[in-house]
Structure 1
Amino acid sequence: MREILEPNHRFTLPSDSEMAILSHILRHKGSAQPDIVQATDLSQQTVSRLVNSLLDRGAVQLAGRIPNGRRGQPRLKLEIAPGYAYALGVALMTDAMSVVLMDFAGQVVDYQHIEMPKMTRPAVFSRLKDSVSTFLHRHPSAQDRLFGVGIGISGYCLDGRARYNPPAALDDWAKVDIDQLFTDALGLPAWVENDGNAAAIGESLLGVGRRYANFVYMFIAAGIGGGVISNQRLLRGVHGNGGEIGLMLPRNMFELPTLETLLASVRDHGIQVSSISEMLAQFDATWPGVDAWIGRAREPLSRIASSIAALLDPEAIVLGGRLPPELSAKIIPMIELYDDARREEPRPLPRLLVSETQVDACAIGAAMLPLEKQFFASMV
């Protein structure tokens, strides 16, 4: 067993086999031992032994019985124990920061969205420390079981690990070891990921990924990016920049389908909003300028989605990021997946789906980073 000493609590980290069990239970919102045996390469005796160890350590808990549909005793249901560990998730955006406190079962315990005139390090860490203090005052049980912090940021990874090249509004975070900055500020282990990749991890564990092992997440915010989930694992690429779907569009040939261009469109049609955050807080899908933006977004999004379908052949393409769900629902019917319609049975195409993670996709995915890296990485 691996052990890690945190500021206030010693966690016994799971073995690879225990990770597989924890991942299965989390992804299926509870499971019985026979189902775990069937889903993994582990024997019944091994599963029983490891489950008992996880029960003893408080990582899983019993949660009633599951009817087996046949004669005989119902099976005992196992669930992730929410209070075993907690993690923070931080989304660094061009005009705001979101902070999430998440429990071990992937449930949002507390959340703050903070509009930020300037995204400098002093400003971010000052507000972040206030948020963390507020969270722990409201939820004192998390104090001694706060495991780590995950950070999601827009931009390209430079070293495959923690150095990013973000938009101009995030200049203070460019080309520095972001994980170390957060560890120094909060005294917690930190992991950082591109916002699209972070959101894809959250979707894989807590949303669409519970039904689809292979999908591409389209992250639409001030820019457009994404993340690729292959066999329930994030496909990061050699340099950590897998899923940069916005780069599929030839430069200067299309208006990018982003929330920046949506903001400009609704402003041009008389809606008085000063920022993306303000627009999203008041958003109405019937605003003038919304349908015009969707009309312009149709071709670039169709090109991106068709390229994804042709290159990766996923089960699903998920629209998310900071995109309001009601807007995603209006966009999806407009997207065309190009196909040659050969004979009477065309090739299978991916489903187009609205993201199922709630509250804040990037912050939720960021909060899952510490838990995924150390507890749920062996996906099954």
Structure 2
Amino acid sequence: MQGIELSNSERLILEIIRRERTSTRVEVAKRLDFSKVQATNLAKSLLDKKLIIDQASPSGARGQPVKMIRLNADALYSVGVTFTGAYMEIALVDWTGVIKVSDSVKLQSQHSLDALCQSIAEFIEQKLKPNSVARKKFYGVGISIPGDFTYARRKMNAVYFPELEDVDLMSAFSSRLDYPVYIENDGTCAAWGESVAGAGNAFDHFVFVHIGHGIGGGIIIDRRVYRGRNGNAGAFGAPFPHLDQSRPSGADLLKTLRSHGIEVDDFAELRALSVDTCEPLKAWLKGAAEQLAQPLTVLARALDPQAIIIGGRLPLDILQAWLPYIDNDKFCQFDKHKLPVPELIASKLGDLGGVVGASQLCFEHSIFAKQTF
């Protein structure tokens, strides 16, 4: 892996292109209040660095093609990692958020740091060369951790994963991996993944509700992650503090299904179930939707987002079947006829949102501009 030297102006252009997918030199100049010559020279520099590419569009005056610029997806890559009780999801992802290859790894030793890092290192060694990814293009590893931060965004309150309790995660992973490491909680990672490459890409401001072992999420404001003071913004499970009571969490769903004789030990096994044929699953979705109505209304009014996106560890088909139950008459019921109501939509990335978002942490910190427009 090699670092790329970028000026702040170059980073700003990359940020615009990432947001818009494609742009032109004229549009870039207008957005950043640059001269056309300045925008052209900066674009040339990025072309020389192979970070962007020209793409002809047949919409120019007198039939002349307009040169669009977009990110060169093959320029940079990273690996995103997330894990549950027994499985680690891992993917090689390009810097536009497109998964090159992914895998679901059965963990032999649950959440042992040595076992996790060995599996990550093996995946990198096995996947880079066969997928034509040179090491100089590889930018690091982003790791999505289930839980809330307790200290300086380095230690977690690992309720469901006691092996990680009171561990300095950044030091632990960095000392075991030969690549730059970035760590974030799972709700924020999934929200960021949706913003870069999923349903959230259409919005500047949205709330992401993450149904994992618990109930969490992330907040995107002006296309930036809002982390809060301790990195825990989006801990939306506070209204449901009792783990031994019914709550709209993934752990509760798994427990409910097992109580009906359905053998599911982890989220990956939900992919074999259908809402149409599994009555206990359908009943749980209906009940959880009722539980979420009031908390979602509070989020809608407190944060005034354009959308609330429902996602997390549940498979896409289950999320899509769940949405009509959530978008019911109780959501914003007292003022929906007077005030704008945010869209309620399902994740487009499903249970892969966390690995996409985790992978993109590498570029958020090192490539793109932090300035908003």
1:176 aligned residue: 167
1:337 aligned residue: 331
Report the alpha carbon displacement of residue 66 of structure 1 after superposing the two structures with TM: 5.0
1:133 aligned residue: 125
| 2:91 maps to amino acid | V
Report the alpha carbon displacement of residue 87 of structure 1 after superposing the two structures with TM: 0.9
Report the alpha carbon displacement of residue 33 of structure 1 after superposing the two structures with TM: 1.8
Q: 2:101 aligns with which of 105, 110, 115?
A: 110
Report the alpha carbon displacement of residue 251 of structure 1 after superposing the two structures with TM: 4.1
Aligned counterparts of 1:372 and 1:177: Cα–Cα separation in 2: 22
Q: 1:284 aligns with which of 262, 274, 280?
A: 274
Report the alpha carbon displacement of residue 41 of structure 1 after superposing the two structures with TM: 4.0
Aligned counterparts of 2:122 and 2:67: Cα–Cα separation in 1: 42
Residues 18-33 of structure 1 correspond to what in structure 2 (within 5 A)?
Answer: 18-33=10-25
User: Per-residue displacement from partner, 1:270-313 (whole Å, max 9, x unpaired)?
Assistant: 32333332233x13222120121012202221122111001101
Aligned counterparts of 1:295 and 1:358: Cα–Cα separation in 2: 19
Quickly say closer, same or farther: Cα 1:174–1:250, change in 2 above 3 A.
closer
Report the alpha carbon displacement of residue 219 of structure 1 after superposing the two structures with TM: 0.8
Quickly say closer, same or farther: Cα 1:14–1:283, change in 2 above 3 A.
farther
1:77 aligned residue: 68
RMSD over equivalenced CA pairs, Å = 2.2
Q: Tell me if structure 2 keeps the 8 A contact 1:213–1:229.
A: yes
Tell me how many residue pairs correspond in the alignment.
367
Structure 2 gaps, min length 5: none
Q: Tell me if structure 2 keeps the 8 A contact 1:28–1:210.
A: no
1:54 aligned residue: 46
Q: Does 1:124 align with 2:116?
A: yes
Q: Tell me if structure 1 keeps the 8 A contact 2:84–2:266.
A: no
Give 3-state SS (helix, strand or coil) of 2:310's partner.
strand
Aligned counterparts of 1:165 and 1:42: Cα–Cα separation in 2: 46
1:351 aligned residue: 343
Aligned counterparts of 1:299 and 1:253: Cα–Cα separation in 2: 18
217-226 vs 18-27, which moves further: 18-27
2:183 aligned residue: 192
Report the alpha carbon displacement of residue 195 of structure 1 after superposing the two structures with TM: 0.5
Q: Does 1:155 align with 2:147?
A: yes
Q: Does 1:144 align with 2:109?
A: no
Q: Tell me if structure 2 keeps the 8 A contact 1:266–1:288.
A: no
TM-score w.r.t. the length of structure 2 is 0.91
Aligned counterparts of 2:245 and 2:286: Cα–Cα separation in 1: 12
User: Per-residue displacement from partner, 1:91-116 (whole Å, max 9, x unpaired)?
Assistant: 13232211111123322111111122
2:302 aligned residue: 311
Q: Tell me if structure 1 keeps the 8 A contact 2:267–2:313.
A: no
20-29 vs 312-321, which moves further: 20-29
Aligned counterparts of 1:66 and 1:245: Cα–Cα separation in 2: 47
Report the alpha carbon displacement of residue 212 of structure 1 after superposing the two structures with TM: 0.6
Aligned counterparts of 1:98 and 1:341: Cα–Cα separation in 2: 41
| 2:311 maps to amino acid | G
User: Per-residue displacement from partner, 1:36-74 (whole Å, max 9, x unpaired)?
Assistant: 234434443332221111111111111222524x54533
2:202 aligned residue: 211
Give 3-state SS (helix, strand or coil) of 2:289's partner.
helix
Aligned counterparts of 1:187 and 1:357: Cα–Cα separation in 2: 29
| 2:361 maps to amino acid | L
Q: Tell me if structure 1 keeps the 8 A contact 2:144–2:189.
A: yes
Q: 1:297 aligns with which of 284, 288, 291?
A: 288
User: Per-residue displacement from partner, 1:1-49 (whole Å, max 9, x unpaired)?
Assistant: xxxxxxx43x224233222211221232222222323443444333222
Quickly say closer, same or farther: Cα 1:161–1:46, change in 2 above 3 A.
farther
Q: Tell me if structure 1 keeps the 8 A contact 2:114–2:176.
A: no
User: Per-residue displacement from partner, 1:322-371 (whole Å, max 9, x unpaired)?
Assistant: 122222222222223223248xx510010001112366111110000001
| 1:208 maps to amino acid | A
| 2:102 maps to amino acid | Y
Aligned counterparts of 1:352 and 1:41: Cα–Cα separation in 2: 36
User: Per-residue displacement from partner, 1:187-208 (whole Å, max 9, x unpaired)?
Assistant: 1111100111111111111123
| 2:170 maps to amino acid | D
Report the alpha carbon displacement of residue 154 of structure 1 after superposing the two structures with TM: 0.9
Q: Tell me if structure 1 keeps the 8 A contact 2:215–2:236.
A: yes
2:27 aligned residue: 35
Q: 1:255 aligns with which of 222, 238, 246?
A: 246
2:233 aligned residue: 242
Q: Tell me if structure 2 keeps the 8 A contact 1:96–1:119.
A: no
Aligned counterparts of 2:49 and 2:335: Cα–Cα separation in 1: 55
Aligned counterparts of 1:142 and 1:178: Cα–Cα separation in 2: 28
212-221 vs 201-210, which moves further: 201-210
TM-score w.r.t. the length of structure 1 is 0.89
